Amino acid sequence: MDGEDLHLPVIEDALDEDEEAPICSPTNYVSNEEAALFAAMRGLRERSVILRRDLKNADPEDRAGLEAELEVLREEWRTLAERRERAYVNKMIMLGHLPPDHPIK
């Protein structure tokens, strides 16, 4: 057996020009609801970064107000995270990966 016999065969024109090559892992699908929630969560994160920076440089009398705003953002984050989890479960039910009677928390 010489070295030339060890090569894999080359298949030419296996796909039509309009077809995409197959991939090893499936594409992650994000529903519109999930995308909107992720965008809102990103906005909250950006606002919290600014608030934390302001909190570092704030006067002691201003800190309480900034900390209260930060706590409001944290609560909004928790609410959005719960909604995102529900949206994910709904998507999995719609795609058939979970049974229709799966509990949605």
| Cα–Cα distance for residue pair 85/90, rounded to 1 Å | 9
Distance CA 31, CA 95 (A): 11
pLDDT bracket for residue 44 (50, 70, 90): very high
Convert the pLDDT of each residue in 13-31 to its tens digit. 555 566 665 555 566 688 9
Are the C-beta atoms of 23 and 15 separated by less than 8 Å?
Answer: no
- Please state the pTM of the whole predicted model: 0.69
pLDDT tens-digit map of 66-83? 999 999 999 999 999 999
Interatomic CA distance for residues 95 and 91, integer angstroms: 6
